Amino acid sequence: MKLKRPVLRTGLICIFLAAPLAAYADTPGIYIGGAWGAYSVNEGDLDDNDDMLKAYIGGQFNPWFGIEGSWVDFNRVNNSGGDNFESDGKGLAAVFSFPFSYTSSFQVKGGQLWWNSDSTLGGVVADDDGNDIFFGAGVKLGFTDRLALRLEWERYEVSDAPLYAASIGLQFTF
C-alpha cells in the first residue's frame, strides 16, 4: 500500500508534536493518598452539603493509565424537617492521565462504588447498601516526582440520590 504525501506529512507532524508529551509523564508506581472535601445532596426536602473524607491507593502502570481503590465517607447532613443522609463506600476506578509536565497531569476517572447509606427522607427511614457507577475529573499538581496535590470533582449515585463532591488532597508515590 502506498501512502500519499499529505497523509505521510500529517502523520509525521503529529508524531513530532506528540513526542514532547512522552517526556511529560506521570511516574509509574504505587501511590497512596488522602483528601478532604465537601459534597452536596439534593433529594426530596433535603438540599444541603457537608464534609467528606477520602483515602485511596492506586497503581500507575504507564504515564496514561492506572487503577485506583478508594474509601469515601460522606458525613451526615440534616434539615429542620427531620430529614438526614449519611453514607460511606469503597470504590474501584480506572484513572486516565493526560500529563502536561513531568510531575503534573489532568485526570479523568470512572468506576464502581459499593456504598452503605443511612437516611430519613420524607419520613421514610432507610438503611440500604448497593453499588453504582461514579466518575470524576481533576488535576494532579506535582511538587516532586513523589509528592503531589490533587484537586478533584466527582459525581456519585448513592441510594438513587446524586452526590456531587469536590476535594483537595495529597498523593505520595513510592
Give 34-50 as a 3 state SS string.
Answer: EEEEEEEEEECCEEEEE
How much is the pLDDT for 141?
A: 96
**pLDDT of the chain, 174 residues: tens digit per residue:** 455 566 556 665 655 555 454 445 567 899 999 999 999 887 766 677 889 999 999 999 998 999 999 999 998 887 767 778 888 999 999 999 999 988 899 999 999 999 998 887 777 777 889 999 999 999 999 999 899 999 999 999 988 889 999 999 999 999
Cell 513531568, residue? 102
DSSP code at position 3: P
How much is the pLDDT for 114?
A: 97
DSSP-H helix ranges across 113-161: none
How much is the pLDDT for 22?
A: 46
Give the whole-angstrom CA distance, residue 62 versus residue 82. 49
Q: Which amino acid is at 83?
A: D
Its domain, for residue 156, covers 5-173
Question: What is the sign of the dihedral through the CA atoms of 167, 169, 101 and 107?
Answer: negative
What's the domain count of the chain? 1
How much is the pLDDT for 165?
A: 95
Instruction: Give the distance, in angstroms, between the CA of residue 28 and the centroid of all CA atoms in the same chain.
Output: 18
pTM of the model: 0.80
How much is the pLDDT for 125?
A: 76
Give the whole-angstrom CA distance, residue 114 versus residue 158. 9
71's CB contacts (< 8 A; 6+ apart) are 54, 55, 56, 88, 89, 90, 91
How much is the pLDDT for 124?
A: 73
How much is the pLDDT for 33?
A: 98
Look up the CATH number of the domain holding residue 57: 2.40.160.20
* CB hemisphere CA count around 120 (13 angstroms): 10
How much is the pLDDT for 121?
A: 72
